[in-house]
Amino acid sequence: MGQKADLVLDVKSQLGEGPLWLADQGMLAWVDIEGRCIEFLQLETGERRSISVGARIGAVVESEDGRLVCALQNGLHYLDPETEQLEFIGDPEQDLEGNRFNDGKCDPAGRFWAGTMPLSGPEASGSLYMLDKDGEIHRKVQDIRCSNGLGWSLDGTRMYYIDTPTRRIDVFHYDSATGEISERQPLVEVPSELGSPDGMTVDAEGKIWLAHWGGSCITRWDPATGKQLDKVELPVSQVTSCAFGGKDLDVLYITSARVGLSEEKLAKEPLAGGVFSYIPGVKGLPASRYSSN
């Protein structure tokens, strides 16, 4: 407990989210939701690239065909990283202009899950969706206030999920063959002094690493007991998500945000919006890619 993370890049993302390790390129990607772009950092050379997508972007994942899949405010799209051109897949909420997509991730079977949230207000107008391999988008959970972190157990029978205002990590029974989820139950209750649960990832031992919005930390939890195992402090309050990367998947990369912070707060948190790293002594798992029929 009480370890500290190191700065990787003082990028000052407005709302940095969704770190993703692109193993084939040795590159870290993440989104800046309010900056409406995907950021890329080549770890060995320090070379940077940014792709503007023209709309708020909640998440990005790799597709098996080499493209990226993006969850934008105006629906799900393919993105060709070479041409930077978008190809529309579908928008399940075209009638809900006050919502946007937030966090998303591929399950081990290659389906893309992403959820929505209202741009403002406490309404539970969000939902969690699944983009199936046939390109169809299915609503899996509704009445969500802020759809956030996702993860799966090592044996593929459970899905972990966060609706941030509940202050919980919930667990569903998950059927990897069909993508069906059922039997939602609370798994972890996050203490108020740790801020609100945001993005998460699962390590190679099946434990959950959780980012804390307003909590200046990431934590590690045992899903078998619901107990906290570790805590890593950051010099920024709005910690948004984490993902394993590096050639051995032994580095935890952490995103953060500066949106909504006062000038006084920003003076105390000059690295807000930066990307950080931590060596946890445990490895992660390769990010699953979207697999279409």
Q: Is 17 flagged in the annotation as binding? A: yes
The Cα–Cα gap between 67 and 81 comes to: 6
Whether 148 has a binding-site annotation, put simply, is yes
CB contact burial 248-270 (16+ within 10 A = b; e otherwise)? ebbbbbbbbbbeebeeeeeeebe
Distance CA 90, CA 76 (A): 5
Taking CA atoms, 212 is separated from 28, 130, 198, 238, in Å, by: 21, 25, 6, 7
DSSP state of 94: T
Cβ–Cβ under 8 Å, residues 123 and 192: no
Q: Annotation-wise, does 74 bind a ligand?
A: no
Question: Strand 227-233's sheet: what is its strand order?
Answer: 3-4, 227-233, 217-222, 208-213, 196-202
* 293 is annotated as contributing to ligand binding: no
Query: What is the DSSP secondary structure assignment for residue 268, as one 8-state letter?
Result: H
Burial class (CB in 10 A: 0-12, 13-18, 19+), 182: exposed
Question: Catalytic residue numbers?
Answer: 198
Residue 14: partners with Cβ closer than 8 Å, 6 or more residues away: 32, 33, 34, 35, 257, 258, 259, 273
Residue 249's Cβ-side half-sphere holds a number of Cα atoms within 13 Å equal to 17
100 annotated among ligand-binding-site residues = yes
Nearest residue to 37 via CA among 65, 14, 21: 14
Residues comprising the binding site for substrate?
100, 102
Residues comprising the binding site?
17, 100, 102, 148, 198
Residues comprising the binding site for a divalent metal cation?
17, 148, 198
